[in-house]
Amino acid sequence: MVERQSPLEPAPLEPELRTGSHGDFEHGVDVILSETRPGSILQLAAWPGQEKELISGIRTVTGLALPDGAGAGSTDGVKSVFGFAPGKFTVVDEAEGLASAFANVVTPDIGTVTDLSHGRTAIRIAGPKAEWVLAKFFAIDFALPAFPVGAGRSTMHHDVFAQIQRTGADQFDIYVFRSFARSFWKALCHASEEVGYEVQ
C-alpha cells in the first residue's frame, strides 16, 4: 500500500504539527492535540430497507456492539464505528485493508463500502477542556449524557465538514478532509491557546 504522508507535516520548514506545550500552559495543560493515523477509514451506506443487514455485517467484521440508529456507535480503542446519518456509518481500524474484509459481508444488494483512508485526516483532542474547545466550533451538546462514549456526529465548521466520535470520557476523534486538515488544525490550536494545550 502507498505510504500516506500527513497533511500536517508536508514541509520540513513549515510543519503544522509542532510538538510540545503551547498557549497559556503556565498553570497546566487542559487540552492534548494529536494526529492519529488509522490504517482504514471507511464509509458504509445501506440501500433503503437494508440497514439492519448492514449493521449485522458491521458487527460481524468489527466484533463491536453497534446500536441501531444515526449517532450511535462503539469503540474498543483499536476499532471504532458510528452512524452519522440514517443507514450510513463510519468504520475506523488501526489495521490497513479493512475494506477487503467487508467485500463478502456487504454485498451490492445490501449497500456500498467506500475506502476514505487516503482522503481523511484523523485529529484527536483530549483533556478536561476538550468539550469546551470543541463547543467553540460546533453547535453540538458535547456533554457526556448527550454525547456518550462511542457515539458520533456529523457536522460542519464553516466550510469544513467534520465527523466527530467521542472515544473516551474526555476524548474526541475528528475526521476531516485532508485538504482542510492544515487550516482546521491551525484553528483548533488557536482555540486551545487560552486553556493551554500540548501537541503530541
Q: What does the pLDDT look like over 57-89, one tens digit per residue?
A: 999 999 888 777 667 788 887 899 998 888 999
pTM (two decimals): 0.87
Mean pLDDT score of the chain = 87
- How many of the other CB atoms lie within 10 Å of CB of 150? 21
Strands (DSSP E) found in 94-159: 111-115, 120-126, 152-157
Strands (DSSP E) found in the chain: 20-22, 31-36, 40-46, 73-75, 79-85, 88-93, 111-115, 120-126, 152-157, 160-168, 171-177, 197-199
Q: What does the pLDDT look like over 140-185, one tens digit per residue?
A: 999 999 999 999 999 988 778 899 999 999 999 999 999 999 889 9
Backbone angles phi, psi at 185, to 5 degrees: -60, -45
Domains parsed from the chain with CATH numbers = 20-37+119-199 (3.30.1360.120), 40-115 (3.30.70.1520)
